[in-house]
Amino acid sequence: MKLDLARDPAPAASDVDAGSEAPKPRLRLGEVLRRYDLISEAQLDGALEAARQAKERLGQALVRLGLLTQEQINWALAHHLAIPYVELGAEGITAELINRFPEGVLREAWAVPLLELDDELRVAFADPTDEAAVEAVAALARK
């Protein structure tokens, strides 16, 4: 069975220099949010300072300050990483598909099997860049 992580393994065109195959360094969250005009430079500077003082991550500070919602941050990151963004509701998740995986693995990986078509399985991950979590679920899907 093929595990479809809904990720594009190739770097996005915007992340590759012309004439080069090497990906550019990943942008920081603030740069991603600015690229999509979700916050102003002044808002970013204020949120960075607030995050530093509260010893929290930038995304947490932006939400706490009411500048962005978590959904807006998730959308921007998914767009930047060229992966689909899905808001899950309980109505779309089947117990049959979930029960094929050990609960502990899914909880640890923060993963939810969404859909199976033919020999392809779509899985949502809270952090699709967590390679260990992706591989743990992929190994079970291949069995």
Query: Measured in whole angstroms, how far is the alpha carbon of residue 100 from the centre of its chain?
Result: 23
Is 102 a residue whose pLDDT tops 50? Answer: yes
110: three-class secondary structure by DSSP: coil
pLDDT by residue (tens digit) across 39-95? 999 999 999 999 999 999 999 999 999 999 998 998 999 899 888 877 776 666 788
Residue 32 contacts residue 76 (beta carbons within 8 Å): yes
* Span 106-119, pLDDT tens digits: 999 999 998 887 77
Alpha helices in the chain (DSSP H): 29-35, 41-54, 58-64, 70-81, 95-98, 103-109, 131-142
Q: Residue 125 in contact with residue 134, Cβ under 8 Å?
A: yes
Amino acid letter at 98? Answer: I
Please give the span between the terminal C-alpha atoms of the chain, in angstroms, as a whole number: 8
